[in-house]
Amino acid sequence: MKFELTKRNIARGAMADGEDDRKMLLAKAVSELRATYQIRLLLYRALHENRELVIAVPERCFVHASLQKLADEHKRHLKISRVNMK
**Cα–Cα–Cα angle for 19, 23, 28, rounded to 5 degrees:** 70
Query: Which pLDDT value is given to residue 85?
Result: 76
Q: What is the pLDDT of residue 29?
A: 95
Contact in structure between 25 and 51 (CB atoms under 8 Å): no
Please report, for the chain, the start and end positions of each structural domain, with discontinuous segments joined by +. Answer: 18-83
pLDDT reading at 4 higher than 80: no
pLDDT confidence of residue 3: 62
Q: How far is CA 47 from the centre of its chain?
A: 12
pLDDT of residue 14: 83
